[in-house]
Amino acid sequence: MALTEQSSAPLHTTMRTPQGLTVWFTGLSAAGKSTLARTVAAELANLGLRTEVLDADDLRKHLNRDLGFTKADRDENIRRIAYIANLLTRHGVVVLVAAVSPYRAARDEARQSIGAFVEVHVGAPLAVCEMRDPIGLYRRARAGELHHIAGVDDPYEPPLTPELLCRTDEETIQESVAKVVSLVLRHIRGPEDAGNPE
């Protein structure tokens, strides 16, 4: 059967692409970024949204194995993560990035390259993060076994005007998750729909 002129029209002209967004969680190691990102992803998935978690620690084991922790390597790490996040965001995915990303300039560059971007500062004092220390990062840094650790012998530049601050030393995980979910829904649905999940 011959194709008609109407049936050969590109499908993408009639399909609506859902709005994507990158949620960039920044904070010291052990502040709770990965836990928060994964829990938020599960909540958003329950609301029918497409989500993807980009955890910097996981990416360093695969895509970014060639990078260390110098400033140049950290900046390159953020550029690569931002590139992936941008591709997914453009295709309607809510991307949850969990990365220390200690330098403001690198985070600002990520924001500019992605566009649909919100920054969440996962804040906890260094002393609290050192008490948590789930993988022994701080212990090894204090013992001189590791170098270039943000907050110890390298700087961490906290966001000046993040879209959201989650104080994980003061809030429960449920409280922090609710704040992030509300932020995401406001950005992708508009303020009038944020409180009405489908």
> Quick check: is 101 catalytic?
yes
In this prediction, residues 74-98 reach a mean pLDDT of 95
List, for residues 140-179, the tens digit of each pLDDT value. 999 999 888 898 989 999 999 999 999 999 999 999 999 9
| Calpha distance 147→137 (Å, rounded) | 10
Q: Which residues pair with 94 in a beta bridge?
A: 21, 51
Catalytic residue among 8, 101, 176, 182: 101
Give me 44's structure tokens: 């958003």
DSSP H or E stretch at residue 181 = helix 173-189
Q: What is the pTM of this model?
A: 0.84
* 61: confidence class by pLDDT, cuts 50, 70, 90: confident
* 10: confidence class by pLDDT, cuts 50, 70, 90: very low
For the chain, list the domains and their CATH numbers. 19-189 (3.40.50.300)
In this prediction, residues 35-56 reach a mean pLDDT of 96
